Every structure is written in C-alpha cells, then in structure tokens.
Structure 1
Amino acid sequence: MGTVVTKIFEYRDEQIEALGQADITLGAAMQRLGRVERVIIPDLFAALVHAIVGQLISVKAAATVWGRMQEQLGEITPQNLLLYTADDIQHCGMTMKKARCIEAIARTVAKRELDLENLRELPDQEVIARLTALPGIGRWTAEMLLINSMERPDIVSWGDIAIRRGMMKLYGLDSLTREQFEQYRKRYSPWGSVASIYLWELSFE
C-alpha cells in the first residue's frame, strides 16, 4: 500500500492579522475559528492526481477514492501508475475520463515531456498555463496544485464551489457574482490562500 506524504500548509500570525485588517468580517471569523490546519501534499505529481480525483465530487467521495487508489495501486508515482491500465485506475471509483487523464499525465511526466519540478520556479499564471495545456486539467485543478502542493500565498479559486459557499456564508449573501468575488479576492491579496483555508472551513460549518 502506498502512503502519500502530507504536511500542513504553513502560514504565520502576521498573515492572519493582515487579513483581519483588510477585512473585518473575515478577521472576526478567523478569530472565532482559531487556527485552521490545511493538509497538503508536497509531491507535485501525487498532488496533481489528487486534484484530478477531486474534480466535481465531494471532499468525502474524493477521500474514499484517494484511499482506495493507494491501497489498490500503491505508490502514486508516474512510474508505478504506468504499471496499471486506465481500467485498473477507474476501478478505484472514478470516471473513465479521469482514469485516462491520470494515465496520460503519468506517461507525460515519466517521458519527461513535462518536468513538474520546473513549475516551482514559475509565477502562478505561468503554472496555470502549463498545467491547463494537459488533458483533463482546467484552471481549478491547476489552482488546487498551487495551494495544496506548492503553498503559493495568494490563491482564491472562483472555480471552487466550497470557497464560493464560504464567501456567501461569511458575508450573508444569497448569491455571489464574479464581480463581488473579485472584489473580495483583491481585498485578501497577497494572502488569499490563507483566506481560502478559512473560507473552506466556513463552507463546511
């Protein structure tokens, strides 16, 4: 059985204070919730597969599939996953589209057609551009890699339904326009990722 190494997203009290000053409502929510820990996956390939697994399904369902993948397939590395067919990957509980996407990306990385480690040197938008060129990878998946693996400091994803739900709860809104979202996102900058961690927490309360 493979066990993917995880760690906690690192952020400092000064970032919490800066967010609280930038947005009083968020500051009050952060104070009430206390320190929220976000588990991330430092390995970029494993984190990318994890993000693909999580596309358009609940956090709970994604956790089930992710656990099953590690039990049935072992290590989440390109070389190991290429020992299996898309059918084998699908049998862990995902759609065939996702299984084929994971298989294709494993092959791309194994052949060194994509060097994931090089992404660490690039700015956020360039990382998103490189990743969305891959099959089955949209902006949300790329943004999840930026926050849940690279620990980039300023990611707030419009494509994440839980983040939008957290925002609506926080500000007492019945709906949220893209324009409103962008106003809040700019207010949180440059510590949008910490805001995201709290918005996720709020969305599940």
Structure 2
Amino acid sequence: MPKVRTKSYDYGQTEIDSLTAADPVMGEALTRLGRLERVVIPDLFAALIHAMVGQLISAKAAQTIWERLQDRCGEMTAQRLAGLSADEIQRCGMTMKKAVSIHNIARLVAQGDVHLDELRDMSDQEVIAKLTALPGVGRWTAEMLLIHSLERPDVVSWGDIAIRRGMMKPYGLETLTKEQFDRFRQRYSPHGTVASIYLWEISFE
C-alpha cells in the first residue's frame, strides 16, 4: 500500500551559524549532536491528520497508530478517510473523541468546505487561526503543521512538553516560566524551528 511521502526539514549552515552566534549554549548542542533530520510531510491533509494522531501521546504510540491508519486507508486522502467510520478510525488505537474529530475534518476537506492549500499563502498566525477553528485542532497541532508540512522557519511551541524540557536541560533550569520561554524563543529567532529540532533531541537525552 502507498505510504505518505516524506522528506527532511530543509536547513543548513546559515541557520546553525546564526543560532550558535545568538546562543552559545544552543551552539554547543548543535556541535555536539551534529546534523539532525526531521521528517516533513509535504501533503497538508496527511500532515494535519498526522499531527492530530500525535496529540497528547508519545511519539512511539503515535507512530504505531499512524501506521495502522495508513494501512486501513490505503491512501491518506480526505476522500479515503471520510469513507471510513469514526469507529474504524478509532480501532487504529486512538480515543473516540479524536477519531470523530479526524473523521469530521476528512469530511469537510473531501466536501470542499475546507481548502487546506490556502494555508500556504497565509502568515503563521493566520494558519493557526484557520486551523484552530476546525474540530479537535488546538494551537499545538497547528504549530506542528507549520513545522512538519509548511516548513516555516521560526516556530517554537510553548505547548510542546518535550520542547520545554529540552529548553530547561542545557540551561540548568528546574522550572520554565512563559516569560523565560519567550526570551529564549526571541533569542533563537528567526531560526526557531531549527532550535526546536535540537530541543526535541535534547529532551530525550
């Protein structure tokens, strides 16, 4: 069965040099960890469903459910997914609430009520506003789509526990306030997404 096409997030020496100059602690992590690959799903619909599958569960569990959902769909399109019942989607291993939200979004896209390609021409904040109007999509899910499909360069998600943990570790912080987070985020700008890729890795070390 065809699997969803993926690629790696595109970044290079410019981003690494900028982050190293802006923050020596981040620079040390960049040097120590070397180049990291981050999977991107160019297809917006597939990327949105992938992000929804990953809500509030571990990356390992999300990958298992995602594989099952792809196997059940055959091809990850709105038409195929809308053709499944919420019960069939739920049996891939997710909550019924999440399955219903995924089914409803698939139906809206398949019917032409939602046009995800419009997101490509929107600002980050416009994308977040558009997506969070959909059932079962919060700010974190929208931010994951900004990173893992649209490849927007400056996204650091406060709502991502692993990113917050990855931010606390190298700076020796016991806690992290939103104010502290925002200071780091501004320091990483305009290459926050590359910083996020490394913060994810640091959080699991």
Spell out the pairing of 1:68-83 with structure 2 (5 A cutoff): 68-83=68-83
Spell out the pairing of 1:80-159 with structure 2 (5 A cutoff): 80-159=80-159
Q: Which residue of 2 aligns with 1:40?
A: 40
Q: Which residue of 2 aligns with 1:191?
A: 191
Q: CA-atom RMSD, angstroms? A: 0.7
Distance (whole Å) between structure 2 residues aligned to residue 195 and residue 112 of structure 1: 36
Distance (whole Å) between structure 1 residues aligned to residue 82 and residue 101 of structure 2: 12
Q: 1:121-153: per-residue Cα shift (whole Å, max 9, x none)? A: 000000000000001100000000000100000
Distance (whole Å) between structure 1 residues aligned to residue 134 and residue 86 of structure 2: 17
Q: 1:64-94: per-residue Cα shift (whole Å, max 9, x none)? A: 1001111122111100011110000000000
Distance (whole Å) between structure 1 residues aligned to residue 73 and residue 15 of structure 2: 39
- Verify: 1:28 aligned to 2:3, yes or no: no
Q: Which residue of 2 aligns with 1:170?
A: 170
Distance (whole Å) between structure 1 residues aligned to residue 184 and residue 2 of structure 2: 39
- Runs (4+) of structure 1 moved beyond 6 Å? none
- Whether contact under 8 Å (1:2, 1:73) holds in the other structure is no
How far the C-alpha of 1:154 sits from its partner, in A, is: 0.2
SS at match of 2:112: coil
Normalising by structure 1, we get a TM-score of 0.98
- Any gaps of 5 or more consecutive residues in structure 2? none
Distance (whole Å) between structure 2 residues aligned to residue 103 and residue 71 of structure 1: 16
- Whether contact under 8 Å (2:9, 2:151) holds in the other structure is yes
Aligned residues: percent identity? Answer: 65
Normalising by structure 2, we get a TM-score of 0.98
Distance (whole Å) between structure 1 residues aligned to residue 101 and residue 37 of structure 2: 30
Distance (whole Å) between structure 2 residues aligned to residue 160 and residue 142 of structure 1: 12
SS at match of 1:113: coil
Q: Which residue of 2 aligns with 1:201?
A: 201
Q: Which residue of 1 aligns with 2:18?
A: 18
Distance (whole Å) between structure 2 residues aligned to residue 66 and residue 204 of structure 1: 21
How far the C-alpha of 1:61 sits from its partner, in A, is: 0.5
- Whether contact under 8 Å (1:86, 1:99) holds in the other structure is yes
- Whether contact under 8 Å (1:45, 1:77) holds in the other structure is yes
